[in-house]
A = this chain, B = another copy of it.
Amino acid sequence: MIDKAKRFSQNPLLRPEDVRPSLDGIVIECLLNPGAFTFQGKTWLLLRVAERPEQADDTVSALVIDPSAKDGLRVLSCQKGDPDLVYEEDPRSFVYQGNTYLTTLSHLRLASSEDGIHFQVMPTPTLIGEGELETFGIEDCRVTQIGGHYYLTYTAVSKWGYGVGMISTEDWQHFTRHGMIFPPNNKDCALFPEKVGERYFALHRPTLGETGLGGNNIWISTSPDLLHWGEHTCLLTTRPGMWDSARVGAGAAPTRTEAGWLELYHGADEQNRYCLGAALLDLDDPTKVIARSQKPLMEPLAEYEINGFFGNVVFTNGVIENGDTLTVYYGASDLVVCGATFSIKEILDTLR
């Protein structure tokens, strides 16, 4: 048995039916990949909620961000057969009157728990896309606590591509938007929870496609202020023939251990099977990789991990550390939110 995850018996912890849609006539299509943090003695998740309008037989409709609308969202509907309606190759989008619309739109929503297992989801969105670079929503948010601030790094999606946006908050009531910190196409950004030497570090994933130069690798960069980033270098690449042969991306903020910075990351193979593994980075110079999982630490094995909106996926961007225990909140099959625990010592043993 390779899989090192102790799944919660209560999994899935949250399903689409546990969340109230943002508007009447909207359905929650998927719950995905939450950020995780502790605040005021509770465990919190910042869920990615993907919604779409209920589709009638004779219309095609999309949920769109509209600052002038009540709640900032409205439904755009167009008649099938309308000459202004054009389907493109990608079933996730269509074009109407020259503008592109996504069939689902994601926002971020808080859920809180006393025990880390039973979560209460807020009745309305916590954060929705704002401005030109987020017209297609915001997705997969990491939450990193540095000093008294929480830094949210998420995927900002628009017709201009997807990059990494950043928002900070102290109280989860007031939010400061810092704009895009990694230009497109980029996602899966995990900030280190403290400076290393004089600099902040972040992991991120420039996305260059499956063929030609580039690939889908984890990069590492430095910053004086968390807002401006440079010294970009390629850190962890895909490995042909292995579980992470097609795509790798960082999970949550790395955990400081005596052996090094421990990062749980996701890897996918050519069959789009997403597993979790670990990388160990030098404590004083995180651009040095000490070790990396030869086999995944967690694979899609449970029924809810194998079947869903997009099957055979375990994906985490929310981890909470408590002594030797890492509690990993994860999206399963792009449909439900689950939890599992790992022993840090046991993970480190696999990396020796």
Contacts and interface: CB of A to CB of B under 8 A. Distances in A.
Contacts of A132: 233-234
Contacts of A186: 183
Given A182-B183, A215-B161, A230 B232 contact: no
A133 interface: yes
A253 to B, nearest CB: 19
B181 A232 contact: yes
Interface in A221-236: 221-225, 227-234
A38 interface: no
Contacts of A213: 100, 136, 157-162, 185
A329 interface: no
Nearest to A185: B208
Contacts of A157: 213
Contacts of A163: 206, 232
A90 B204 contact: no
Nearest to A184: B206
A179 B133 CA distance: 27
B228 A183 contact: no
A183 B232 contact: yes
A113 interface: no
B230 A160 contact: no
Chain B CB within 10 A, most for which of A183, A209, A211, A233: A183
Contacts of A89: 211
Interface string A178-195: 111111111000000000
Interface in A41-73: none
Contact of A231 (B158, B161, B185, B227): B227
B185 A230 contact: no
Contacts of A179: 230-233
A219 interface: yes
Interface of A: 89-90, 100, 132-133, 136, 157-163, 178-186, 204, 206, 208-209, 211-215, 217, 219, 221-225, 227-234, 237
27 contacts: A100-B213, A132-B234, A157-B213, A159-B214, A160-B234, A160-B237, A161-B206, A161-B208, A161-B213, A161-B214, A161-B215, A163-B232, A180-B233, A181-B230, A181-B232, A183-B204, A183-B219, A183-B221, A184-B206, A184-B208, A185-B206, A185-B208, A222-B228, A223-B228, A224-B225, A228-B228, A229-B230
